[in-house]
A and B are shown apart, each in its own frame.
Chain A
Amino acid sequence: AQSVTQLDSQVPVFEEAPVELRCNYSSSVSVYLFWYVQYPNQGLQLLLKYLSGSTLVKGINGFEAEFNKSQTSFHLRKPSVHISDTAEYFCAGENSGGSNYKLTFGKGTLLTVNP
């Protein structure tokens, strides 16, 4: 069975600082990996996805993530954050050979950007 671990439940940073939100996965099969963002009182919005190909994927709002198979990681990064990036971020994985396209989510990381 697949699992997704987000190592940090909360990450406070100052505006314009860089940030990295960590995500590790465990799976015996190839996976697709995703980052979703949840702004307060809103649903889950897809930030970016890794399906295959280049291990560095770029998403919306200046975020990017790097798939590292040897470290089984898919960390999310942004070089300079804004106050508006304050939100909960979820890493999720899906077995690439699955037929139901079912996502397994991590517990989430609350990113708080302070002025």
Chain B
Amino acid sequence: EPEVTQTPSHQVTQMGQEVILRCVPISNHLYFYWYRQILGQKVEFLVSFYNNEISEKSEIFDDQFSVERPDGSNFTLKIRSTKLEDSAMYFCASRAGGSPLHFGNGTRLTVT
């Protein structure tokens, strides 16, 4: 069965550094998402992306965050200047229209 793949599985970075989290959605999917899960808390919506643009973003998704689909297969989340509170598990998800979300295994981001 096709899968959403995320790399790396674990990323450690220093506060203030830029990070890029990478995702390869399922190939025929059209809708792409990033969610995050701070340790011990619920999974929170960050942003949705469709037709090469952001379709919705949460209040968490401030100017430090950006998303891109650079080459038709990858979907990236960039955090420009990381803060300690950005430490979380970040999940990429994709779906075809009307189907449930398929999630990747996540990238655990640790900001020190």
Contact = CB atoms under 8 A, between A and B. Distances in A.
Interface string B38-49: 000111110010
Contacts of B50: 100
A34 B100 contact: yes
B106 interface: yes
B95 A105 contact: no
Interface string A41-61: 111111001000000000000
Interface in B18-51: 31, 33, 35, 41-45, 48, 50
B45 A43 contact: no
B8 to A, nearest CB: 14
Contacts of B55: 99-100
B75 interface: no
Given A44-B43, A90-B43, A107-B42, A101 B91 contact: no
A99 B56 CA distance: 10
Nearest to B49: A100
Contacts of A102: 33, 45, 48, 56
Chain B at the A interface: SS class: strand
A105 B43 contact: yes
B103 A44 contact: yes
Contacts of A34: 100
A43 B56 contact: no
Interface of B: 4, 6, 31, 33, 35, 41-45, 48, 50, 55-56, 91, 93, 95, 98, 100-106
17 contacts: A42-B105, A43-B6, A43-B106, A44-B91, A44-B93, A45-B103, A46-B102, A90-B43, A101-B95, A101-B98, A102-B45, A102-B48, A103-B45, A103-B101, A105-B43, A107-B41, A107-B42
